[in-house]
Amino acid sequence: MVTIGMPFYNCEGTLLNAARSIFAQTLQDWELIMADDGSTDGGLRLAQRIDDRRVRVLSDGRNRGLAARLNQIAEVAKGDYLIRMDADDLSAPNRIETLVSFLQGHPEVSVVGSAMLILGSDGLPCGKRVPWTEHEDVFSRCYSNVGIMHATVGASRAWFRSHPYDERLLRSEDYDLWMRSRSDSRFANLPDPLYFYTEHESFRMSNYVKGSCEVATVAWEHARRDLGFLRAVAYRAACYGKIGVYLVAQMLGVTEQLIRRRSDAITYDDMKFFDDAMETISKTDVPLRRAPALQGETVDEG
């Protein structure tokens, strides 16, 4: 019924738990495609050790970028639906079933995301990010930010195949895809925090600046065409102003506090949901082959 697409690059320390959260899903009619992007750690060998017929590992030894790997996964996916998953995050046990049920019950919606819990360096929730739920709200500020979180999304396999990522983009492939597809697709978000995101561990200022600059360039092209030159200039200035705020925060040593301000406070119910989810995930086994797979062994390319 559903393909979970998990690209990975040098995620040996988190890969197994990310996969464990898929094995813990309430919906078990899935395949997991793990696409290596030229890892230099032991992540590929670890992925190849997973011993389950529903898991496929793709590897060609090259570092092509996230967009290329997501397109590759869409091309070889067998599921009717395709759901994103990053190799350093976790899915709540009911995530896949909830997203698929929503898409089945709302055929007018092309892409659905969800709220997510933000995990701190201790692995515990330190915030929650709740996006707008309706299509019009998702795109209400689209020339600076589209209100859907890339790692949380799911759509039909056919939608991803007919709306490929631009592989030339290294850090704004999602923003570009949302902007290009907004005229013929509808987007939605679920308010439930179905995704656990390790933002504090993965945040790098250099990557943030490069990504924000790339988004500003993509947004400029759309805004200039849709709104005219002057309003496009205003949006682009706002994008660069936001970058400046983060750079100042880094100089003052308050970057983590600024990151925390991007999220809402978590509630007792959020914490209970997380604790119950982690109990289920932690008790779930991932079947592994006894002997590590060798780098030179034949790898299923789909």
**Measured CA distances, 286 to 93, 242, 256 (Å):** 14, 42, 33
Query: Does residue 225 carry a pLDDT above 50?
Result: yes
Query: Does residue 202 carry a pLDDT above 80?
Result: no
Q: How confident is the model at residue 95 (pLDDT cuts 50, 70, 90)?
A: very high
1-10, 92-101, 155-164, 248-257: least confidently modelled range: 248-257
Q: How confident is the model at residue 300 (pLDDT cuts 50, 70, 90)?
A: very low
Cβ count near 226 (within 10 Å): 12
Q: How confident is the model at residue 212 (pLDDT cuts 50, 70, 90)?
A: confident
* Per-residue tokens: 138: 């998702």
Same domain assignment for residues 228 and 83:
no
**Residue 178 counted as domain residue:** yes
Q: What pLDDT is recorded for position 146?
A: 93
Same domain assignment for residues 140 and 240:
no
Q: What pLDDT is recorded for position 301?
A: 43
Same domain assignment for residues 110 and 216:
no
Same domain assignment for residues 186 and 48:
yes
Residue type, 132: W
Same domain assignment for residues 136 and 221:
no
- Where does the chain have alpha helices with state H? 12-23, 43-49, 66-76, 95-105, 135-138, 157-162, 173-181, 199-202, 205-227, 229-252, 255-261, 268-282
Domain count of the fold of the chain = 2
Query: Does residue 295 carry a pLDDT above 80?
Result: no
46-50, 173-177, 219-223, 258-262: least confidently modelled range: 258-262
Same domain assignment for residues 89 and 232:
no
**pLDDT tens figures, 58-77:** 999 999 999 999 999 999 99
**Residue 247 counted as domain residue:** yes
The CA distance from 93 to 163, in Å, is: 28
* Per-residue tokens: 62: 């090259």
The CA distance from 281 to 279, in Å, is: 6
Same domain assignment for residues 62 and 111:
yes
Same domain assignment for residues 216 and 197:
no
Same domain assignment for residues 195 and 216:
no
> Contact at 8 Å (CB) between 241 and 203?
no
Across 111-124, average pLDDT: 94
Cβ count near 231 (within 10 Å): 13
Same domain assignment for residues 11 and 159:
yes
**pLDDT tens figures, 129-161:** 999 999 999 999 998 889 999 999 999 999 999
54-63, 110-119, 226-235: least confidently modelled range: 226-235
22-31, 124-133, 176-185, 238-247: least confidently modelled range: 238-247
Q: Which domain holds residue 234?
A: 205-256
Cβ count near 166 (within 10 Å): 13
Across 231-258, average pLDDT: 85
* Tokens 């600024």 -> residue: 258
Average pLDDT, the chain: 92
Q: What pLDDT is recorded for position 297?
A: 47
Domain boundary among 240, 256, 272: 256
Query: Does residue 121 carry a pLDDT above 80?
Result: yes
Q: What pLDDT is recorded for position 256?
A: 74
**Residue 108 counted as domain residue:** yes
Residue 6 sits at φ, ψ, to 5 deg, of -125, 90
Q: What is the pTM of this model?
A: 0.90
Same domain assignment for residues 108 and 213:
no
